[in-house]
Amino acid sequence: MSKQFIGAVDQGTTSSRFLIFDNEGTLITFYQVELPQSNPQQGWLEHDPMDILDTVLECIDKTIHRFELMGYNVKDIKGIGVTNQRESAVAWNKKTGEPLRNTIVWSDVRTDELVHTFKKKENSHIVKDLSGLDLTSYFTALKYRWMLDNDEEVKKAVKEGTACFGTVDSWLIFKLSGGQAHVTDVTNASRTLLMNLKTLEWDSQLLEFFDIPKSVLPELCSSSQVYGKVKLDIALDGVPIAGCLGDQQAALLGQKCFDKGEAKCTFGTGAFMLFNTGTKPVTSSHGLITTIAFKLGENEPATYALEGSMAVAGSSLRWLRDNLRLINSMEEVSDLAEHVADTGGVYFVTAFSGLFAPYWRDDARGTMIGLTSYTNKYHLARATLESMSFQARAILEAMNQDASTPLKVLKVDGGVSNSNIAMQIQADLLGINVERPSMRETTAFGTAIAAGLAVGVWKSVHELDGVNVKGITTFVPNLIESEREDRYNVWKKAVESSLHWTDDVEDDL
């Protein structure tokens, strides 16, 4: 059989990419472009939706050019998938296709006051019961609500019946399909606070709770089906758009965590640990989110996951570079951290905009403790890497309690996972093996799997069991248990020190 190929749009918080994989799961080529960001006010983070689209189109064009220079034919690309930064909110005009305002990014905290307002409502318990999610500024419905309350263009479009709301996947599929498809998949929808986790439909009670009209929302679909075809004057014109997953669920699929009990952690701008719990949702009682892992076909059952997320991971390295000017490149952090055997007693809680799982504290702020005259930049670099590992440890403990099955191996990917010392620290502080695949483009590969299944490149995920198994690096814990526990106990004290730094804390916090 001749080679077949699948393309993958990977649209993230800080960059956009387009990658091409063959039917054996091999990465053929890709192109990446940095995505501009804006901070209109403290705690706000926005993207121009046209920048999102333009960077994706540039990546497609450059990748296809490279692909053809390698001797391949674009006609052999059987479909494309889209994976995206989740929870970010986009609003556009369905008639003109023009954005109504800037995208509000997932980590934006302008909705903190709204969170407190909605938490005080008598029936606020329905949010967790129906959506599986906690009421925090992280999720999309509150961003939609903010737009409806504060943006005149959005209000006008809703009144005229021309408004489309969606996460970034919806925006990209709408534009790539020439305005033919206003859709999202259940993994992205499960991050909005508006989808019923069991029925996999927009929930009337949740829509009423947040006062969001169903008419503005996209059609709900599975993660693996043909949503439409590319209808743009680009090389991919006519190619089926056939896969769609939020980036963390895509990484779970790309790490081949197909079965119950498998887990991965992606260390990108933030860090996200997902644990496959099978075809039944598991409700967390330890601060985790219940979410959809994937739904690989219209008539296939959904697979669920527990998720723990931290808002700050790789972005802490960017902070060292751009704000403190401690380093010239984020890669330098590993070199600095290797100069010392420990942090010299320094603990860094990177709660720049609060703490996510399992703490869920929007009153937390970045806190560095244990500083002495002995402290130097090497200690700070190592403490920054350790902060990710301690937060991952807290999430892992919650997962082990909720799932009742202790995790024995954690699969890792994302930019920070390229650092050997960061992953060794991770293994040391978790006390379990950490596995890093040789091909680390697992997020894009996950959506390529979904698209490939929809267009018949693969019949089953288990055709991919043998893919990307060579060259796995395993990091084995070196710390003795007593030292690991002692350090983790100090970390918990550091977290306590990071709390109560805002004035608008709920009385019950």
Alpha-helix residue ranges (DSSP H) falling in 306-348: 314-322, 332-337
Long-range contacts of 94-99 (CB under 8 A, 24+ apart): 94/162, 94/163, 94/164, 94/174, 94/179, 94/182, 95/162, 97/174, 97/175, 97/179, 99/48, 99/49, 99/50
Single-letter code of the amino acid located at 509 = L
Q: Number of H helices and number of E strands within the chain?
A: 15, 21
Q: Write a three-state SS string for 194-218.
A: CECCCCCCECHHHHHHHCCCHHHCC
Name every residue whose Cβ is closer than 8 Å to that of residue 431 and which is 6 or more positions away in sequence: 477, 479, 481, 484
**What pLDDT is stored for residue 61 in this prediction?**
96
Which residues on neighbouring strands pair with residue 267, listed in sequence order? 271
Asked if 193 contacts 141 with a C-beta cutoff of 8 angstroms, the reply is yes
Tell which CATH classification among 2.60.40.10, 3.40.50.720, 3.40.50.2300, 3.30.420.40 matches the domain 5-255+437-464.
Answer: 3.30.420.40
**What pLDDT is stored for residue 175 in this prediction?**
97
pLDDT tens string 106-154:
988 899 899 999 999 999 999 999 998 888 888 999 999 999 999 999 9
Name every residue whose Cβ is closer than 8 Å to that of residue 483 and which is 6 or more positions away in sequence: none
Neighbours of 65 (CB within 10 A): 14
**What pLDDT is stored for residue 136 in this prediction?**
86
**What pLDDT is stored for residue 505 in this prediction?**
47
Q: Is the omega angle on the peptide bond into residue 218 within 30 degrees of 0, that is, cis?
A: no
pLDDT less than 50: residues of the chain:
505-509
**What pLDDT is stored for residue 50 in this prediction?**
97
Name every residue whose Cβ is closer than 8 Å to that of residue 288 and which is 6 or more positions away in sequence: 306, 307, 308, 357, 358, 395, 398, 399, 402
**What pLDDT is stored for residue 507 in this prediction?**
45
pTM of the model: 0.88
Q: Which CATH superfamily is domain 310-436+472-497 in?
A: ATPase, nucleotide binding domain (3.30.420.40)
Domain with CATH 3.30.420.40 in the chain: 5-255+437-464, 310-436+472-497
Q: Write a three-state SS string for 388-406.
A: HHHHHHHHHHHHHHHHCCC
Single-letter code of the amino acid located at 305 = A
**What pLDDT is stored for residue 468 in this prediction?**
78
Cα 400 from chain centre:
21
Which residues on neighbouring strands pair with residue 240, listed in sequence order? 229
